[in-house]
Amino acid sequence: MPVLDDLKSLLVTYKLCNRCLGRQFFYACPWIPTGIKGQIVKKIVGFVAAVNDDSEKECYICEGIINQLEDIGEKILDKLGEYEFKSYKIGTIFPPDVLEREDEIRSLIYPVDAASIKVEFNRYLDNFVCNRTKATIDNRDPDVKITVNIPYNTVHVDVKPIVIAGRYLKHVRNIPQTSWACRHCNGVGCEACNWTGKEYGTSIEDLLINAILPYFEGERGVLHAGGREDVDVRVLGSGRPFTLEIISPKKRNVNLEIVERDVNEKYEGVIEVKGLRYVDKNYISRVKSEMERAVKTYLALVKSEEPIDDASIEKVVDRLKGALIHQRTPRRVAHRRVDRVRLKRIYDVSIQRVSENMFKMTLKCEGGTYVKELITGDAGRTKPSVSGILGLKVECVQLDVIDIGEFNGEKK
């Protein structure tokens, strides 16, 4: 038979180990191991002398690499030993010359059921890890991705981040949401910052990471919040939505009710978290984008340079309630924000007098509204404004966020 003659001629010319030969018929009777298939093929073509002479170090295609499979499997398990995971994906990087030699052999016999050496390696290693760990193979979104680099004899494990969502409350002022580099040394460290490199001693991000990261034994954490309050603004009421991304976690099965309780006990009176839960990474972008449209409620303490009568207070309420204001990027953030005019809706306003020149104002407005500038006018960059309506210079003495509305898909 011409096909058998071609195979026999191939084996005379090229030394092939049983696995590399059997792999050319990989999808024919796929339940039979490739090594056994190779033996069968050699017997069928009458290449009897090669049956008991399978010195795989001499194989033309793999040059003995195929013998490393079990050792590589053990190396993978050793790398995975420090991680908790329920799913995984394995990929291999092969020397180009191995793949080229395999293509050369195929061009001589045109096998219709062949698979590449990468397929055999990946399938073997998939089964090896599955049998030893009982984890499942997930080629779309695994907990761990394992890359085997054959040329460099290395195994690299890439761990999927854990993302925790919730809301935080900030009960004190003068804590930034994220760390600020010292304005004097730009983060290098100097006397002004007590050699910390930070403008403020700590931040919401620092506090959350310091409390939560040890539970997961992660490399680091990153805070992603739905909006940002000023350093001197408290966040009360419903709290601000946030996600905390844990990079390279070793632990994944952590009880978040315990984490939430411990965070609140540790930072009582400073910050508080609630509603901690696991979410997927897409949730990070949803929090950031949808918070721009969420309704937010603020409580501001406003002080005027002159006494204000009741008629003027009513005028402020009437002009701002339901108003669409025009806000040009405030001067205080112009160095880091695009200079443009934003249109923002003020849904509701109420005012409670404190003294003849001071009052508390509750504002319900569209996300992204610069409330301090809505009060001061920011030299005419926000119109209308409390200052503009009163015709007086006013300042925002204190500001609190007292409610941030839910967004699509959020569960409080």
Burial 314-323 (b: 16+ CB within 10 A, else e): eebeebbeeb
- Beta-bridge partners for 399: 300
Contact (Cβ atoms closer than 8 angstroms) between residue 105 and residue 60 = yes
Please confirm whether the linkage preceding 95 is cis (ω < 30° from 0): no
Which H/E stretch holds residue 73?
helix 69-80
- Beta-bridge partners for 327: 342, 382
The residue among 237, 225, 174 whose CA lies nearest residue 364 is 237
271-279 vs 234-247, strand pairing mode = unpaired
Q: Which member of 230, 232, 262, 280 is catalytic?
A: 230
Burial 178-196 (b: 16+ CB within 10 A, else e): ebeebeebebeeeeebeeb
Tell me if residue 230 is catalytic: yes
Distance CA(330)–CA(49), nearest Å, equals 86
Catalytic residues, which ones? 230
